[in-house]
Structure 1
Amino acid sequence: MTTTQSAPPSKDDVLKAEAAWLVAITKGDAEQRALMLPDCVIVHGPVGNVHDRERFLAYNASMGATLKAETSEVTCRERDGRAIVTCFQKMSSRRVPDLPPFLVQAVVTRVWFATDEGWRLGHMQLSRRQPAA
């Protein structure tokens, strides 16, 4: 992996990668994989799963299609070809065809790395949170 670019990476480019990620998780494995580094690590789930890229994508696919994803309260810190993004994330997933979508809310941290191909996800941690009452 090469971590240099001809133009210095910018915060706006990181936020574009974030937006692309939200679209990718509604599209499927190939779209997500394209935005992830091969050695990406994901920490998620109510029991604290630690998965590599392929295991996470398989697990995610088994949970049903993500219909919609959105973020709020986004913060981004970019420095030296790395960016850390934290946010609240909501996802609606269709787990069972005849039931309404299941809402997942999480506090998310994503670590992005600048590569020749653009920003790529290297680490993500999702901590589920209870919906507001």
Structure 2
Amino acid sequence: MTTTPSVPSSKDDIRGPDAVAQAEAAWLVAITKGDEEQRALMLPDCVIVHGPVGNVHDRERFLAYNASMGATLDAETSEVTCREREGRAVVTCFQTMNIQRVPDLPPFLVQAVATRVWFSTEEGWRLGHMQLSRRQPAV
């Protein structure tokens, strides 16, 4: 299981992750931080397919939607598989997030099967496509 790691970052560091595992770890941190951290890891033409109603969003629309859902307090992944070939990597995993949707209430648990497609660029690995398929929390 991978829990939200603390990945050092600096606004002066314009280079992104050099390995897919680092990109995945950075993504788990970014979704708990905010739009700018997520945007820095995404290609401008990134496409996100997510539920619960089957949205297909570009990067900016997804970031706005995601921000409206409440703060992601923590995230972790398990059962991670990675297939890397010729400058592309496909990562599939189970992802669990706790979302603080309403103040003063316990966080809302969201589980999803996630598939992320990363592209190797001169600036490091960048997210080009993501699909999140929500699932009922396991008991």
Q: Which runs of 5+ in 1 are unaligned?
A: 1-11
Which amino acid letter does the alignment assign opposite residue 48 of structure 1?
G
**Paired letter, 1:47:** V
Per-residue deviation at 1:29?
0.0
Post-superposition shift, 1:47? 0.8
Q: Tell me how far 1:36 sits from its aligned partner.
A: 0.0
Structure 1 moving runs of 4+ over 2 Å: none
Alignment size in residue pairs: 122
Out of 106, 109, 123, the residue aligned to residue 129 of structure 2 is 123
Report what 1:54 is aligned to: 60
The secondary structure found in structure 2 opposite 1:72 is: strand
Written as runs of structure 1 = structure 2, the 5 A alignment for 1:48-127 is 48-127=54-133
Q: TM-score, normalised by structure 1?
A: 0.90
Q: Under a length normalisation based on structure 2, what TM-score does the superposition of the two structures give?
A: 0.86
Shift of 1:65: 0.4
AA at the equivalent of 1:111 = V
Question: How much identity, in percent, do the aligned residues show?
Answer: 88
User: Aligned-pair distance for 1:67?
Assistant: 0.3
CA shift for structure 1 position 77: 0.3
Q: Does 1:29 align with 2:70?
A: no
Equivalent of residue 20 in structure 1, options 12, 22, 26:
26
Structure 2: distance between partners of 1:106 and 1:132: 11
The alpha carbon displacement at 1:121 in A equals 0.1
**Displacement of 1:131 after TM fit?**
1.0
- The gaps in structure 2 that reach 5 residues or longer are 1-17
Deviations 1:26-48 (A, max 9, x none): 00000000000000000001110
Distance in 2 (alpha carbons) for counterparts of 1:45 and 1:98:
25
- 1:31-78 CA-to-partner distances (Å, cap 9, x unmatched) read 000000000000001110000000000000000000000000000000
Q: Distance between the aligned counterparts of 1:132 and 1:93, measured in 2?
A: 17
Once residues 58 and 77 of structure 2 are traced to their aligned partners in structure 1, the CA distance between those partners, rounded to angstroms, is 23
